[in-house]
């Protein structure tokens, strides 16, 4: 029997207006994601949470003379530097208070290794280490996932592409996502990349 899961990506205070790395209109995903949770369409609901240690290598503050938006090498990969955000045990790392969390069966924390970033909810950026989310869903008998959250052009994109690679039938609920758009075409390019990876956009 096929089982379907909802993956809620990084709906955290720091990614919403007033947060350290606010995604424009990020808070607008919350009612849509709450509605998805209430829809009865999902056998399982899981969430990812950016959970960085202090001084994470993706933070501009960890690199002398660098500012957000600069690019360095981290874990052998090009890394965009960000403001400090979603630091473990800080209010910014908490889920947005209006997000329903009662039905979330598992929370997967990512970005915990200071030496490499993890945009995807399934792996770090170098695909050196799994977060365990793909394996957990597989063990639960899930073969289909819908994804919503923040941000379209980073963590949603990489979570969706990795989920499709893992073998899940993967869809992204575009209306339940918002993007950073550092460059104005980033969200459009992210949607194209997901489609090319076999992800359905709904």
Residues marked as catalytic: 10, 110, 155
Q: CA-CA distance, 78 to 99, in Å (whole number)?
A: 33
Classify residue 113 by burial, with Cβ atoms within 10 Å: 0-12, 13-18, 19+: middle
Radius of gyration of the chain (CA): 16
Quickly list DSSP for 57-122: TTBGGGSTT--TT-EEEETTEEEE-B-S-SBTTSGGGSBPTTS--TT--EEEEE---TTS---SSS
């Amino acid at each position: 029997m096929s089982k379907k899961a909802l993956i809620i990506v990084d709906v955290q205070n720091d990614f919403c207006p007033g947060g350290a790395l606010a995604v424009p209109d990020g808070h607008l995903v919350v009612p849509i994601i709450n509605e998805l949770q209430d829809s009865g369409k999902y056998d399982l609901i899981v969430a990812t949470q950016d959970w960085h240690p202090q001084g994470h290598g993706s933070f501009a503050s960890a690199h002398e003379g660098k500012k957000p938006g600069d690019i360095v090498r981290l874990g052998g990969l090009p890394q965009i530097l960000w403001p400090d955000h979603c630091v473990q045990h800080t209010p910014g790392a908490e889920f947005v208070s209006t997000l329903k969390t009662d039905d979330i069966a598992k929370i997967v924390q990512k970005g915990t290794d200071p030496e490499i970033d993890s945009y995807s909810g399934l792996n770090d950026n170098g695909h050196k280490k799994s977060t365990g989310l793909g394996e957990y869903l597989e063990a639960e008998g899930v073969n289909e996932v819908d994804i919503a959250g923040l941000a379209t052009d980073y963590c949603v994109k990489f979570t969706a592409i990795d989920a499709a690679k893992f073998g899940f039938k993967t869809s992204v609920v575009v209306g339940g996502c918002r993007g950073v758009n550092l460059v104005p075409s980033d969200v459009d390019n992210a949607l194209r990349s997901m489609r090319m990876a076999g992800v359905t956009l709904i």
